[in-house]
């Protein structure tokens, strides 16, 4: 499988497991076309990585924060931007090396998306939690499972 296809699979899985994006879509923060915007975000992220060599997690974090604000009227304050950004950078590196097994293992560890995001992501049946993939990909300590995910609509 080509590196681009491997990375595309990883992006869809990461976005499908991202609670902040799911909450924004499910609650209509992106309008009635929220699920389409989530799918669009996957494509835009793929292009962002393909056209910007050597991206650092902070750059990806800034990009995601801007998209969430502009497209979903959402400010993500739960720390997940850091983890999602690190996961995407790690997946891109694995895909660029052509390591299909490692990308597949990382995707398998991601949680199952909610119904509105199933169009944007297709994780396997035996998917695991978001925290597991962060730990397995050495993206820092897993989030506290008892912590609340805080997603707010941007104030106008």
Query: For residue range 105-122, what is the model confidence (pLDDT) as tens digits?
Result: 988 888 655 444 444 443
Percent of the chain exceeding pLDDT 90 equals 63
Query: What mean pLDDT value characterizes the chain?
Result: 80
Query: Is residue 80 domain-resident?
Result: yes
For residue 128, what are the domain limits? 3-144
3-state secondary structure of 76: strand
Helix (H) or strand (E) holding 11: helix 3-17
Query: Is residue 27 domain-resident?
Result: yes
Query: Is residue 156 domain-resident?
Result: no
Query: Is residue 78 domain-resident?
Result: yes
Beta bridge partners of 78: none
**How many structural domains compose the chain?**
1
Query: Is residue 76 domain-resident?
Result: yes
- In the block, tokens 């056209």 appear at 51
- 84-143 pLDDT, tens digit per residue, is 999 999 999 999 999 999 999 988 888 655 444 444 443 333 333 334 434 444 444 444
């Amino acid at each position: 499988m080509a590196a681009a296809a491997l990375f595309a699979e990883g992006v869809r899985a990461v976005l499908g497991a991202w609670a902040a994006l799911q909450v924004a879509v499910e609650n209509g923060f992106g309008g009635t076309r929220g699920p389409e915007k989530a799918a669009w975000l996957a494509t835009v992220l793929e292009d962002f990585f393909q056209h910007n060599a050597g991206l650092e997690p902070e750059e990806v974090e800034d990009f995601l924060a801007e998209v969430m604000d502009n497209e979903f009227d959402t400010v993500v304050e739960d720390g997940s931007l850091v983890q999602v950004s690190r996961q995407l950078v790690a997946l891109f590196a694995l895909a660029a090396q052509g390591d299909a097994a490692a990308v597949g293992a990382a995707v398998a560890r991601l949680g199952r998306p909610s119904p509105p995001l199933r169009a944007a992501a297709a994780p396997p049946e035996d998917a695991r939690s978001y925290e597991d993939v962060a730990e397995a990909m050495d993206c820092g300590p897993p989030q506290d499972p008892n912590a609340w995910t805080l997603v707010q609509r941007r104030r106008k």
